[in-house]
A and B are shown apart, each in its own frame.
Chain A
């Protein structure tokens, strides 16, 4: 009988660290210096008063935040935020090193699944994206993906929430035009949850609100956040930047500025309400210096997100980052590289909410085909992230002895028992020899993903909302549009 090994250490899942703890502290201290020396602009009266009363130096709308206050707010912010699905199942605990993927919001353009036409996005696109993600297992949460630009602009954000909630049970992250529309969305969410108390117990939605870089906190951005805290709904409060234009061009400088903006949000949140569920991070994208486009799929973004994820783990505050979003205008080889590397990095770093999966053209265009392809990328990344199992069975010494020199393993029960878990199977990747590939119609990965997307759209029916709730949602939208 073989006894266990003493002093055994195991690496259950791979360990990826981009910088050391002392470098994180260096970034943290630089951030405190920015908040204390330069401060932030706050265009929200209540927030400004809260900051002043808490000991900030306030001149006009500029608040200089002392380091001790920032650190106190970091300690007060929850380390764990549990997000439920529409059925009150607590499926998405945001804790350090648990990674969840979802798409992003508000793409103005869509490549039509049926016609291939590049056109303006509609509410139908939001519905279809939600339905496709409801089906695809690697999407943990949804965002609107498209803009409901065929609806009245004043309430298009409400239409997007309705389209999502009617087409998926998965948790969702919403955007809102302003505080008023946010409050309307919170009422819609309460209706779906069965009352405000139920929503507070098991929130199924998160708000995505933004400061504007550099260092500006708008009335609507803060107002929307505060409204959500009243309902116990978590808030992502993070900037989306253009490094070299709205932040310093250096990666470290970008991270410091973004961190300052996010932590100013944490301070305002905790002053508004102790323990307010806030999520930090952001879109750390550089500006392309030839074309001025936002670089979503670039190596720098992935490097920035690695450090920003470590920072959030250092603070013990859940984070929001992005991957699977690309600058390629179509789902080509470039798109695969841009999406694949980002997704793998996010998984290995243990980022929490990884959004924008399935974005094309630098965050302007959606495609259900690409959204479907990314499901495979996430599947592979998760497979790798889950690590290599090393134990008596997988070391397979007995099997090696049984098969012996010159034998084969293909008929062995060990292979039969383990091949599914030990060899990853994609849904859309091509692995055919040329002749067979030709015989089966010479389909590219994109063709296969398009077919799968079409099949999901045709066949998948998400769990419906009760008729009365759907009517109630219509009513709230109509009332908000009128007033």
Chain B
């Protein structure tokens, strides 16, 4: 359908207003709302993902595309039963206890959202007990922890231990990131994965939720 292609192109171009108008037109024309997401919005975003990875698109362009897609989803969402809503998975994120830095985490959030993940951001300075509580409440597929400081990254292990104690560890995948964090640290503390940047975090989440 030509309109789907047009919508994809608008997502790629980050045409926020265009996507919004076209989505509304499609809704008015009785196009299946799930099809609007799967055949119009997502294919555009998938192209964005590929181009970003190849270095042909830049972060602000990806953000604008994600924003355009979100504008469309916002319109169709009320028309779809929650259980039928297409999603890549639910990711709970937070910067660990004692650490107030959040730009890295925000970037990861935005990249994940643009890849179709649902994000629950707990914010900064999140103690292990708070992560546990939120896992119980939101039942995410993945828990992501961020730290910029070497002194605070040790708290990542405490959170993993707390999840174990509560019997929740097997229900979620745990991923970690931040400047001082490494793959070997992830293995050492029993995390399921580590990603050096936001793009890699997106791939990692896709990989972990696919299994």
Contact = CB atoms under 8 A, between A and B. Distances in A.
Interface of A: 106, 108, 120, 147, 149, 153-154, 156, 177, 212, 216, 218, 242, 244-246, 249, 287, 289-293, 363-364
A147 B153 CA distance: 13
A292 B199 CA distance: 9
Contacts of A218: 100
A291 B197 contact: yes
B101 A212 contact: yes
A19 B146 CA distance: 40
Given A108-B179, A212-B100, A364-B179, A287 B59 contact: yes
A242 to B, nearest CB: 6
Contact of B103 (A147, A149, A245, A289): A245
Given A108-B180, A242-B103, A364-B179, A289 B60 contact: yes
Interface string B166-208: 0000000000000110100000000000000111000000000
Contact of A292 (B107, B151, B180): B107
Contacts of B106: 245
Contacts of B59: 244, 287, 289-290, 292
Given A218-B100, A245-B107, A246-B103, A290 B150 contact: no
Interface in B58-78: 58-60
Contacts, number: 46
B154 interface: yes
Contacts of A147: 150, 180
A332 to B, nearest CB: 20
A157 to B, nearest CB: 8
A291 B54 CA distance: 11
B60 A290 contact: no
Contacts of A154: 151
- The 7 A-B pairs of least Cβ separation, nearest first, read A289-B58, A108-B180, A153-B151, A289-B59, A147-B150, A245-B103, A149-B150
Contacts of B103: 242, 245-246
A177 B152 CA distance: 10
A156 B151 contact: yes
A289 B151 CA distance: 28
A153 B55 contact: no
Interface string B72-111: 0000000000000000000000000000110110110000
A244 B110 CA distance: 14
Given A108-B179, A293-B197, 19 more contacts: A106-B150, A147-B180, A153-B151, A153-B154, A156-B151, A216-B100, A218-B100, A242-B103, A244-B59, A245-B103, A245-B106, A249-B60, A287-B59, A289-B58, A289-B60, A290-B55, A291-B199, A292-B104, A364-B179
B150 A156 contact: yes
Nearest to B180: A108
B91 to A, nearest CB: 18
Nearest to A216: B100
Nearest to A219: B100
B55 to A, nearest CB: 5
13 contacts: A154-B151, A156-B150, A177-B151, A212-B100, A212-B101, A216-B100, A244-B59, A287-B59, A292-B104, A292-B197, A292-B198, A292-B199, A293-B197
